[in-house]
Amino acid sequence: MSDYSTGDAPLSWEAPKVGGAWRGVLMILPAFLWAFGHIFFLIIALFLAPGWCKKHRQSLLRAWGGGLLWLYGIKLDLNGLENRDFEGAKILAVNHVSLVDLFVWSGIWCHPGTVLYKKEFGRIPLMGRVMRMLGFIEVDRGNKQAARDSVALAAKRIREEGLCMWVAPEGTRSRQGGLQDFKMGAFHLAMQTRSPLVPTIMRGAEKVNPMGSWIVRSGTIRIDFLPPIPTVDWERRELRAKSVEIRELFLQFLPKASDFPS
């Protein structure tokens, strides 16, 4: 059992009943048009008015995710915002559930903020270019040296710019749902920046968009920002143990991935 604080977040939470599939089916086209239309607008705006885009980046990013959440009828129940909104650099470590995660993270974007994203996302037409232009940091998980370089770049920017960094320690979604093992990137990042790590628990996303489904249903997603974990005294030799301890904290709230044995 982890010794880290869970704050006021309840260990158990039952997501309200989700809506039917028809709305999700009917919203596929409007959501597609909004998502890629907004990205196209961002590309034009970034070329024509980069200063304006930089100034209004938080609003522009929140509009993208917020519009998709509104179209699908997804409500967010945010808790512990004081643990997210303190001044200075921080790393938000969040469990990765489904494609809806992208809507949620964008809809509650912090400023100044950035995110590590898989190289594969950069291949999506328009989206990849916008993510690079917005200063997001690409990670090539198929190349260890490239991945280390990406983490080093992220650490440098977090320190110098006081960024809020979104990180999914699992690296990818579980095929069967539940919490997987944690990769080490988030913990190397925390050690290099000495920035507080904020465990961020997301529940309910697996109901509105089950793994493997393209249908997104209306419903409620609860997000708990737990008390920040100081990292100023972390040492490289103990990072593996830290990752295990923090995963145990997440497991107080979330089920273990059925396709992960430990």
Q: What is the pLDDT of residues 176-199, one digit of tens each?
A: 678 988 988 889 889 989 999 999
What is the reported pLDDT for 218?
96
Domain total in the chain: 1
Q: What is the pLDDT of residues 39-62, one digit of tens each?
A: 889 889 988 998 898 888 889 999
**Domain-located, residue 51:** yes
Phi-psi region of 88 (alpha: psi -120 to 50; beta: other; left: phi over 0): left
Token representation of residue 9: 């977040």
134 versus 23: which is more confidently predicted?
23
Tell me which residue range forms the domain holding 47: 21-251
Determine the Cα–Cα distance for residues 53 and 92; give it in Å rounded to an integer. 24
What is the reported pLDDT for 107?
94
**Domain-located, residue 3:** no
What is the reported pLDDT for 176?
62
For residue 137, what pLDDT band results from cuts at 50, 70 and 90? confident
Determine the Cα–Cα distance for residues 220 and 56; give it in Å rounded to an integer. 28
What is the reported pLDDT for 1?
55
Residue 94 in this model has a pLDDT that exceeds 80: yes
Residue 260 in this model has a pLDDT that exceeds 70: no
> What is the pTM for the complete model shown?
0.88
What is the reported pLDDT for 174?
66
The residue assigned the tokens 């209004």 is: 56
For residue 82, what pLDDT band results from cuts at 50, 70 and 90? very high
Mean pLDDT (the chain) is 87
Residue 125 in this model has a pLDDT that exceeds 80: no
Token representation of residue 126: 């328009």
Determine the Cα–Cα distance for residues 175 and 15; give it in Å rounded to an integer. 21
**Domain-located, residue 2:** no
Q: Is 198 in contact with 226 (CB distance < 8 Å)?
A: yes
**Domain-located, residue 258:** no
**Domain-located, residue 1:** no
Q: Is 6 in contact with 251 (CB distance < 8 Å)?
A: no
Determine the Cα–Cα distance for residues 124 and 131; give it in Å rounded to an integer. 10
**Domain-located, residue 261:** no
* DSSP H or E stretch at residue 101: helix 100-107
**The CATH number of the domain where 243 resides is what?**
3.40.1130.10
Outline where DSSP puts E strands in the chain: 74-79, 90-94, 113-118, 137-139, 164-167, 197-203, 219-225
Determine the Cα–Cα distance for residues 67 and 45; give it in Å rounded to an integer. 18
Determine the Cα–Cα distance for residues 79 and 128; give it in Å rounded to an integer. 31
The dihedral formed by the CA atoms of 193, 196, 201 and 206, expressed in degrees to the nearest 10: -10
**Domain-located, residue 13:** no
What is the reported pLDDT for 95?
92
214 versus 25: which is more confidently predicted?
25
